[in-house]
Structure 1
């Protein structure tokens, strides 16, 4: 690219060629345009060899780099980076290389950011996004402990909370009902990130099926035709009834590879946002209070919360854009 003090732009080079072709001496044209004769001859020569394409900017990268680090050494650097997560300052002494040389190698191979790597395997994370809403919907369940009436330690003093805990333990021993858990079932569209969630009492197959039927109706209300559903390998999703429910609606059921939650990352990231901006946003005095706050969170998430993967826009804007309605 031309720098800000460059004497010649693409337009200037074309003007140079036109003046030379009109019959004027190259030396005179170069003096008028404030450049040297060799530079003027270079652009005229390129134009004669390549035409207008020869007047465009070229990369300054050399065609060959004889002193570049060997492929074997680069492979050793990449192996230490992915297997042991070491930085240039630690890889350099191991391979007897300057840290500056080591730094350039992970950058060249896309390994310079640990956030781009899968921590257990060291593989570069493949990020994908479906082309249209409904092409793939991620479904998952998040388990949360219920909140006792009056709140927990964050609301009441520690002594009272401990007394409640002791009382809960006594109830458990006497087989009386205990606080238990809530199960947040969520469905997130891969393309638009439009989300639908419900708090349900369990994660059994019939509960998961009923949730999906309501989630399917939610997406249909937003003119999203669901083609595929991606789930983990939970028992409720492995059941034949869940797959038959999807198949009856013309939806293909896909499951992730075992112990690979990265594949279902859209809903996994939504679960993290759910915890940060709803479940743990503030102390709640009861389970009902937390449940009632979920609807406000979902409205904010879908209609107002900006999303970095969507260019700073909320999910509903991408849904409208896909339908030809620009907001």
Structure 2
């Protein structure tokens, strides 16, 4: 059994983390978050989650994972900034269908454009009506998505400040993106990593097993299109 599967199984059976236990007695000494109750909407499109993750770009020739730490550090001209990519993502609460794009920033107009394209992507996969959109309290989300939401009759919902777990489904996707796409392979260029996102996302939606869906991929919860 893969090592990272073990804590998932333990959490599924409501077992606390070691840091929440007394090391000698095993008694629970720290309560879990009161808002950490798992929930799932009844139908696709009833609620979607949206967020952005910032990733450092990969320099030409690859970073230290491709070259090794010593070679990667010596080859890179640190006076030239590498910059960042911004991975915008949206996840359906019921089916876990995900859509992501790598964009240059996280400004309001960029977020609004991404939301428009994400709505079209979801419609192409059978989710032709999005009722609610949940995001964090970033300025771009609060002020730049209103027109798009109004055009599609979407109700905006915001998490409680400093409570990212309330947007946990897209936060979990961000973590999966990092471990299974962004940092899994020693890419030799930023373009190579960018090109690998679409195939990975297709696999995530159509083939990759999801424990919360009983071992089925997100596409299994959508009507054929």
1:87: which partner in 2? 22
Determine the structure 2 residue equivalent to 1:217. Answer: 120
Q: CA deviation at 1:124?
A: 6.6
Count of residue pairs the alignment pairs up: 208
Contact 1:247–1:253 (CA<8 Å) still a contact in 2? no
Residues 187 and 267 of structure 1 are in contact (CA less than 8 Å); yes or no, is this contact kept in structure 2?
A: yes
Q: Which residue is 1:160 aligned to?
A: 71
**1:192 — aligned with what?**
95
Secondary structure of the structure 1 residue equivalent to 2:78: helix
* TM-fit CA distance, 1:160: 3.2
Measured against aligned partners, the alpha-carbon deviations of 1:260-285 in whole angstroms (never above 9, x if no partner) come to 01110000011111111101111000
Quick check: which one's strand share is greater? 2
Superposition deviation, residue 195 in structure 1: 0.3
- State the structure with bigger RCO (CA 8 A, min sep 6), 1 or 2: 2
- Between Structure 1 and Structure 2, the one with more helix by share is 1
TM-score by length of 1: 0.59
What TM-score, normalized to structure 2? 0.85
Distance (whole Å) between structure 1 residues aligned to residue 154 and residue 107 of structure 2: 20
Alpha-carbon displacement from aligned partner over 1:110-155 (angstroms, at most 9, x marks no partner): x9xx8x923xxxx372111000000000000000000001001111
| Aligned mates of 2:172, 2:70 — CA distance in 1 | 36
Checking the alignment, whether the CA contact within 8 Å between 1:228 and 1:254 is kept in structure 2 is: yes
Match of 2:221, SS state, is: helix
Alignment CA distance shift 1:88-1:182 (3 Å): closer
Instruction: Give the SS at the match of 1:155.
Output: helix
Aligned 8 A contact 1:155 1:285 in 2: yes
Query: Could you tell me how far 1:157 is from its partner in structure 2?
Result: 3.9
**Which residue does 1:28 correspond to in 2?**
none
Gaps of 5+ in 1: 1-80, 92-102, 172-177
* 1:97 matched residue in structure 2: none
1:250–1:151: structure 2 CA closer, same or farther, 3 Å change rule?
same
Q: 1:2-21 to 2 correspondence within 5 Å?
A: none
Quote the residue 2:145 is aligned against. 242
155 and 88 in structure 1: CA distance in 2 versus 1, 3 angstrom threshold: closer
Residue 117 (1) aligns with residue 32 (2): yes
Asked whether the 8 Å contact 2:48–2:133 carries over to 1, the reply is: yes
Q: Structure 2 residue aligned with 1:141, among 46, 49, 52?
A: 52
CA–CA separation in structure 2 for the residues paired with 1:181 and 1:124: 32
> Which of residues 112, 115, 127 is equivalent to 2:38?
127
Give yes or no for contact 2:48–2:134 (8 Å, CA) kept in 1: yes
In the alignment, what sits opposite 2:196? 293
Residue of structure 2 aligned with 1:308, choices 211, 214, 224: 211
